[in-house]
Each structure stands twice: as C-alpha cells, then as structure tokens.
Structure 1
Amino acid sequence: MDCENCGERKAKITLTEIEENEMRTVNLCSTCATLKGVSVGSGSPPIADLLAHLGGGAGDTLFEAGGEACEYCGTGAAEFRKSGRLGCPQCYVQFDRQLRALLRRVHGAWQHMGKVYVSTALDTDPAHVRLSTLRRRLERAVEIEDFESAADLRDEIHVLTEAS
C-alpha cells in the first residue's frame, strides 16, 4: 500500500486521528509520519511512554532512579523505564506496592473488576435492574474516588427508591 500523503513510498504506519469527534485513519510512510510528529522506530514500548507521561504522584516514585532493584534478577528503575518490562516473576512480588500504585493511577483500580451480567429476562423489573446498575456504578465511583459522579449517582438512586 502506498503512502496516502506523498504517494511515493510504501506505507509502514497506520495513524488514526480524531478531530472534532471525527475519526480518520491514514496510512503513511516513515518520512511523512515523522513530518506529522509520529516517532518512528524509537522502539519505545507503550509502558515506558506511559511512565514518561504520568508526571506527579505515583509516576514520580515508581521505580525512581537509584531505587530498589529486584533481589532475584537485579532489574531496577533504569531497566524498567527503558524496556517497559520486569525481569522475572519475582519482580511482581518485589515491586508490588509500586505496580499497584501505577495500576490505580492508570485504571482507577489495581484489580480487574470485569463486567457484571444483568439478566434481560422478561420477568425482570426494569426499575430493579436500573437500581442495581446504579448501585454498582456508585460503588465503582467511590472506589476510584470520583466523588462528583458518586454524588450524582446517589441522588439518582434516592429518586428511584422514593418512587418505588
């Protein structure tokens, strides 16, 4: 496939841009991608980019330079920031506190919550389903400390329970 920008070279990168709520995908050669500001061939893994952009809070203390290293394999801050990978299974135990902080910062929780199945059976009361959904969302909002949303959800639950 040829580059959609210059049409001269083979496209090696697919760039997805979202502007004004409109998504557009463009196939570009390395040169055109570089001109658009996309780093090409940096070999930088996504986790390293994530850590670099986290900024204050948990991102600064996570694997800080000169900090602790894995007692088993010796992986430390520099290696983790460079490769985005831990060295061995023991690293997950050694850096449990830092990894939990990173996951909390990125995902709002350190443990996967998953999706909850809600029955769509005909005999299920829609108000009951709505109420249980709101309660789960409230619980999640409190867990991730989104208190503004939690207050809105609490009020909505109150209105539904008063109507019942």
Structure 2
Amino acid sequence: MICQECNERPATFHFTKVINGEKTEVHICEHCAKENSELFMFNSSSGFSLNNLLTGLLNMEHGFAKAEEQNVFKTESVPQCDRCKMTFQDFKKSGRFGCSNCYPTFKNYITPILRRVHGGNTEHSGKIPKRIGGDIHIRKNIEDLKEKIRSLISQEEFEQAALVRDEIRSLEKKLSSSDEEGF
C-alpha cells in the first residue's frame, strides 16, 4: 500500500478513525507521519505515547491509582525486581521495565493485561529464520499439532485425532533423524 500523502513510499502507519459511526482510514509512510506529527499524535507535546497507553491499561486493570494511593495502611508486600530494584508501582508510572528480569518478576501482574491487549495470547513466539530454523520449525509444528490433538480429543473427534497423532509421530521421527545427522 502506498502512502496517501506523498504517493511515493510504502505506507507503514495505518489509522482508522470512527466518529459517529463514520469510518475513515488513513495510510501514510513514516516520513509523512513525522512531518505531520501534530495530525497523527506522534509528538510528545500531544501527550500520546505507548507508555501512556500501557500505564492507562495498568491503572484500569488494578483499579484507579488514586484509590490505591489513599489506602495508606496497606500491608500487602510490593513486588520488586531483584536485579534493578524496580517496583510494580514504578513500572505503572513509567510504563517501562528496568531490566529483562522484570518480566518474570511481574508476570502475575502483567499477564491479564497482555491477555486483554493481545486477544488471549500471552506468549511471544517470534520469527524463525527460514534457512537455519529447520528443527525449530518442526518442533513448533509438533507443539501446534499437540494442541490441535488436545482440542480434537475434547471434541471427541477421535478419527481426526488419530491422523494428527500419526503426523506428530512422522515429524518426531524426522526430527530425531536430523538430530542423529548432527544438524
């Protein structure tokens, strides 16, 4: 898709605005988005940022921040990252973690938020290089098929489940043969 502003570069920003039931879509490139930042809320003076969005979601998930601040006698322990000493309250204010250890430390707090934002998916699978990710692709395929077989069994689709089981066995055999070859 080409940018609607300059009609030259590929559009990388896609906006949908709905006002009174009327839907308007805008597709622009990064260059035009920066030039027209006041129109598309990219500048910091507009007050819009992903950090602000995340902070707002955190406040919605855990009640309103002011209500929490008023509870002076709260005895519940506040989780804190062992490595960078960031607390969950610090994270809620900044919208950013201090280090990679913060993710497992605050997992119980952020999982419901991620589930809501990402439509139920809370695990990041990432991309796998096509040329060197052969075994990884096979293992991911096996995991997907195992999930499918669980679903089929719960729906009592035993014939389909047997076919999926055979496919899993075939992939596992392929995987073990590639391990023996040293790849």
- TM category (shorter chain) comes to 0.3 to 0.5
Provide TM-score, normalisation by structure 2: 0.39
Provide TM-score, normalisation by structure 1: 0.42
Question: If each structure's helix is expressed as a fraction of its own residues, which one has the higher value?
Answer: 2
